[in-house]
Amino acid sequence: MPPLTVDPADFDAFRDDLRDMPEQDCSNDIECAVRTILESIGEDVTRPGLRRTPERIARMYQELTAGYHVEPAKLINDAIFEVPYDEMVIVRDIDYYSLCEHHMLPFMGRAHVGYIPDGRVIGLSKIPRIVEMFARRLQIQEQMTQQIARFIQEALHPQGVGVVVEGLHLCAAMRGVKKNNARMVTSAMLGSFKRNQSTRSEFLENIGRSHLDW
Ligand SMILES: [Zn+2]
């Protein structure tokens, strides 16, 4: 077999940067998109600090949006118990991290969840997991609050559910108005938490939010 010989005039055929196709150092959609963003803001995507950034961000978004792929039935699987308990159950100060769907910037804070069982309770560790399932998506805080409340309502059919979420939004803190410490508070009250003022007050007092306006 004769050795492979390349005419110097044809060297250019082997040069990536002269192909019609843009150079693809990215191996999936997110990586390629991040690369495009970096180039668009005038960055040099080949400099050492940025070389692996598209890849890192692609992995990061998989993690931060993992809530889309959680199967709710599996999440609460084996964790619902028949118990004749009908006093308020509260899990407070659940830390969460989410991404606002308008800017894809983080918002974070604490969620407080309460419910009054009607014969069925859910394992305590599941409530933070439920919050996380809805937080790890592109969200708006109001919607996330409602989704958590409705999910518990559907799963347990309790007498009532209350959810209060506090959030610090980086899109508000970093941009424009720069209200650095302004927290947004949202709530969703279902069943007896909605109908019954004293139930609601008991919940709000327990989560240290007795001054929440209604
Ligand atoms: Zn935002």
Domains contained in the chain, CATH given = 8-64 (1.10.286), 72-206 (3.30.1130.10)
Cα 62 versus chain centre, distance: 11
Q: Which tens digit of pLDDT belongs to each residue from 57-95?
A: 999 999 999 999 999 888 988 899 999 989 999 999 999
32 in catalytic set: no
Give exposure, 135-150, as e/b (b: 16+ Cβ within 10 Å).
Answer: bbbbbbbeebbbbbbe
pTM of the model: 0.84
Q: 174: pLDDT confidence band, cut at 50, 70 and 90?
A: confident
- pLDDT mean over 1-9: 63
157 in catalytic set: no
Catalytic residue among 103, 142, 143, 153: 103
100 in catalytic set: yes
Catalytic residue among 141, 146, 147, 159: 141
Return phi, psi of residue 178, to 5°. 50, 50
- pLDDT mean over 125-129: 95
Catalytic residue among 101, 157, 197, 205: 101
26 in catalytic set: no
Q: Residue 182: its pLDDT value, please? A: 77
Return phi, psi of residue 84, to 5°. -80, 65
Q: Which tens digit of pLDDT belongs to each residue from 149-171?
A: 999 999 999 999 999 999 999 99
Spacing, Cα 90 to ligand 1 middle (Å): 29
Spacing, Cα 85 to ligand 1 middle (Å): 40
Q: Is the pLDDT of residue 211 over 80?
A: no
Q: Is the pLDDT of residue 214 over 60?
A: no
Spacing, Cα 165 to ligand 1 middle (Å): 16
8-22, 36-50, 137-151: least confident range: 8-22
Catalytic residue among 26, 139, 166, 169: 169
Strand ranges (DSSP E) for the chain? 80-82, 89-100, 106-116, 120-122, 138-139, 160-169, 183-191
Q: Is the pLDDT of residue 3 over 80?
A: no
Q: Is the pLDDT of residue 205 over 90?
A: yes
Q: Residue 198: its pLDDT value, please? A: 95
Spacing, Cα 143 to ligand 1 middle (Å): 13
Spacing, Cα 95 to ligand 1 middle (Å): 19
Q: Residue 21: its pLDDT value, please? A: 46
Q: Is the pLDDT of residue 17 over 80?
A: no
Spacing, Cα 183 to ligand 1 middle (Å): 13
17-21, 56-60, 172-176: least confident range: 17-21
69 in catalytic set: no
Spacing, Cα 56 to ligand 1 middle (Å): 22
